[in-house]
Amino acid sequence: MLSTSPQCRPAQRPQAPCQKEGIVASYLTIRQSLGYIGLALPVVLLVGGLAGNEGIAPSISHFYYTSMQDVFVGALCAIGVFLMGSWGPDSHDAGFITHKRVSRIGGVGAIGLALVPTHTDKPFECSFVQCMTGMQTGSDIHHVFAGLFFLSMALFCLFLFYEREEDGTGDHARMALRNRIYKGSGAVILVAMAALYTYRISSPETKAVMDANSYQFWIESIGVWAFGLCWLIKGHAFSALNDRDLPPQAVNLDCEPSRPKISLAYARALPKLPHAIPVRAPVPALRKPAHRRA
């Protein structure tokens, strides 16, 4: 006997609170990783260059031609990938300047810096782009990527990290402190970009003096440190700068009953959970009346 009962669609289970907190934790981890890499990169390159008796390179990009090449390329590629995935549920947009656009531009700039090296006078085997375009053209492309990367860092600090009253953080004093750090860091990055531009328009004699004192390296390091500091703050790495209703460990991926709650701002920013789909009761199979079975 055939049954005419339809296939019942199972109910869609709502997302558990610990899963929401896990989403927030992943974005915070990415942001903290960006900050730590930004703070550590100039220091690691400096220590590695001195330990290898190669001294301080004229700029961060010139470490490509030292024994620290792998560290330089790997760190910038990691920054580029993390930037492209740094968008989170609490991300803000400022008109045309959106988090996704700026993060993608910055990610492309960081990866381009790693894969298209700058010019050097040392005897060195050319990279793929340098062999295809020539040393000087490859260096110009490198500087374009550098401009995109530094510009994205400034836009993050000046516009996208800035917190507003309607965000509902509940701790206006610490929010104002974070905003001052963001604005100050953005201004530092813009000044660093202007200082690097003065190097490019300087005379060869002036450039020689600047290179002897690693002028570009220190200016770039200051800009990258400002960038890293902002990402650490945005990733809630400093409990003294977090909102008072946000514990130092904002989330717990183990989903234990005693896990701390996420802040009100993050709870409001998370997407609403889908409603469960009701399950239809199965239709009983049709049977012939008893007096017709014979």
Average pLDDT over residues 16-33: 69
pLDDT value at residue 286: 57
How many Å apart are CA 173 and CA 190, to the nearest integer? 26
* pLDDT(244) > 90: no
How many Å apart are CA 127 and CA 116, to the nearest integer? 7
How many Å apart are CA 278 and CA 71, to the nearest integer? 54
**Residue 22: pLDDT band by 50, 70, 90 thresholds?**
low
pLDDT value at residue 127: 83
**Residue 94: pLDDT band by 50, 70, 90 thresholds?**
low
Residue 25's Cβ-count burial label (10 Å; 0-12, 13-18, 19+) is middle
Amino acid identity for residue 98 in this structure? T
**CA torsion angle 233 239 245 251 (round to 10):** 80
Give the least confident one: 15-19, 230-234, 287-291. 15-19
| Residues ≥6 apart with Cβ < 8 Å to 4 | 283, 285, 286
Sign of CA dihedral 143, 148, 149, 150: positive
Give the least confident one: 112-121, 169-178, 228-237, 285-294. 285-294
pLDDT value at residue 249: 44
**Residue 223: pLDDT band by 50, 70, 90 thresholds?**
very high
Per-residue DSSP letter, 246: S
- Look at residues 62, 55, 65, 30 and name the one whose alpha carbon lies nearest to residue 220: 62
pLDDT value at residue 131: 85
pLDDT 10s digits, 127-180: 888 888 888 899 999 999 999 999 999 999 999 898 887 665 668 889 999 999
pLDDT value at residue 258: 39
Contact 76, 145 (CB under 8 A): no
**Inter-axis angle of helices 135-155 and 99-115, nearest 10:** 150
Helix (H) or strand (E) holding 200: helix 172-200
How many Å apart are CA 48 and CA 67, to the nearest integer? 8
How many Å apart are CA 182 and CA 226, to the nearest integer? 9
Establish how many alpha carbons lie within 13 A of residue 114's alpha carbon, considering only the half-sphere containing its beta carbon: 20
pLDDT value at residue 250: 44
Contact 130, 117 (CB under 8 A): yes
pLDDT 10s digits, 249-289: 444 333 333 344 445 454 455 555 444 445 455 555 555 55
pLDDT value at residue 230: 96
DSSP string, 132-186: HH-HHHHHHHHHHHHHHHHHHHHHIIIIIS---GGG--S-HHHHHHHHHHHHHHH
| Residues ≥6 apart with Cβ < 8 Å to 258 | none
